[in-house]
Amino acid sequence: MGFSRRELLAAGGAGLLLPGWAGRLWGQAQASTSIVTPENAVGGFRFVHMTDWHIQPEKGGVEGVVKALHRVQELEIKPDFILTGGDLVFDSFKASRDRSLQLFDLFNKTIKDECTLKVYPCIGNHDVYAWGDPTQAHDPLFGKMMAKEKFELEKTYYAFNHKGIRFYVLDSIEPRDDNKYRGKIHGEQLEWFKADLEAKPLMQPAVVVTHIPIFTVTVFNESTYKNSSFEMQNGAICEDTIMLTSLLEKHNVKLALSGHIHLRDNIQMRGVQYINGGAVCGSWWKGPHHGVQEGFGVVDVAADGTMKYEYVDYGWEAVEEG
């Protein structure tokens, strides 16, 4: 799976000479005897991408998540953290306040009880409380406020550095006039994202995660082919795909991970790898989704910033077939 333990350890172990782009970047200031530290090391680590958990008490949805978390923590090379891809609960979009709170609490309790790794939350459409039922708009937790409070997020989008890689967790869920949602990155978030990319050293590789894909081929199917052409819905793919793919290409984003579709693809386009990462819940806990097993992605980052991806079927069998 991906890099060997030896390659990873050789790249990331403390006390080694700094390899790759980070060596060139920081090495000038620190001379050729630079030592890799957790703060400035690049590569030599593993993380996992777990998207579309859809945690729920029904259909074995908690037991499935627990099994997935245990499988992640039993990997031979331990991941440094879990990057989520949204739709962590199922469902808050049209649910009552009590049901939504129950689901978020279930998510938090499951993480606390079953996972020792750091989990980075990403918001999906099913994590937005009651946009589908505007009669609840008076609730202080309406919309993304519940997810912000329960995930302990100041904003629903953020960035962090890990061993020389810049990670962007974006919020791709925007409201539509018809009480539904659309995939879009704009306004204040887009300004922040652009400014952060500009401030990032160009040589520093980056990873972006969104719930709704920035780019994917999974949307080419029988439901989008109409009148001899494909018609993409902005509920399935970010409507600002053209602008976003250009932005990622320009700023050395190596990998763009997404969820939402519960399918898998792996595309190299203009220097960026776009991956739709299946789903922890498969077909909403009713079995595999069009042949895609319940699973998660393992990403191995090498010393030079290159990344290898592998999808892991953690062995869940549906309690009820769909």
Q: Which residues bind Fe ion (CB under 5 A)?
A: 52, 87
- Residue with CB nearest Fe ion? 87
Residues contacting 84, CB < 8 A, separation 6+: 49, 50, 51, 53, 119, 120, 121, 122, 209
207 and 165 Cβ atoms separated by less than 8 Å = yes
In the bound state with Fe ion, the residue whose beta carbon lies nearer, of 52 and 171, is 52
Please name which of 73, 71, 105 lies closest in space to residue 89, comparing C-alpha atoms.
105
Q: Which is nearer to Fe ion, 80 or 87 (CB)?
A: 87
Q: Beta strand pairing status for 181-183 and 173-175?
A: antiparallel
- Look up residue 9 and give its DSSP letter: H
- Min dist. Cβ of residue 307 to Fe ion (A): 24
**Shortest distance, position 279 Cβ to Fe ion, whole Å:** 6
Residue with Cβ nearer Fe ion (36 or 170): 170
Least gap, CB of 236 to Fe ion (angstroms) = 11
CB of 11 to Fe ion, least distance (A): 34
According to DSSP, the β-strands at 229-230 and 225-226 are: antiparallel
The distance of closest approach from Cβ of residue 54 to Fe ion in the complex, given in angstroms and rounded to an integer, is: 6
Counting Cβ atoms within 10 Å, is residue 207 exposed (0-12), middle (13-18) or buried (19+)? Answer: buried
User: Are 89 and 106 a contacting pair, CB within 8 Å?
Assistant: yes
Q: Which one, of 267, 264, 270, lies nearest residue 291 by Cα?
A: 264
Say how far apart CA 161 and CA 246 lie, in whole Å.
22
Smallest gap from residue 84 Cβ to Fe ion (A): 12
Token duo for residue 288: 């595999």
Specify the residue, 45 or 181, whose C-beta has the smaller distance to Fe ion. Answer: 181
The total of other beta-carbon atoms located within 10 Å of residue 156's CB is 22
Residue 53 CB, nearest distance to Fe ion (Å)? Answer: 9
| Residue number, 90 or 168, with CB nearest to Fe ion | 90
Q: Are 16 and 36 in contact (CB under 8 A)?
A: yes
Q: Which is closer to Fe ion, CB of 87 or CB of 294?
A: 87
Q: Provide the 3-class DSSP secondary structure of residue 297.
A: strand
Q: Select 87 or 265, whichever has its Cβ closest to Fe ion.
A: 87
Place of tokens 């879009």: 184
Q: Quick one: 254 or 262, whose CB is closer to Fe ion?
A: 262
Q: Least distance to Fe ion from the beta carbon of 68, Å?
A: 14
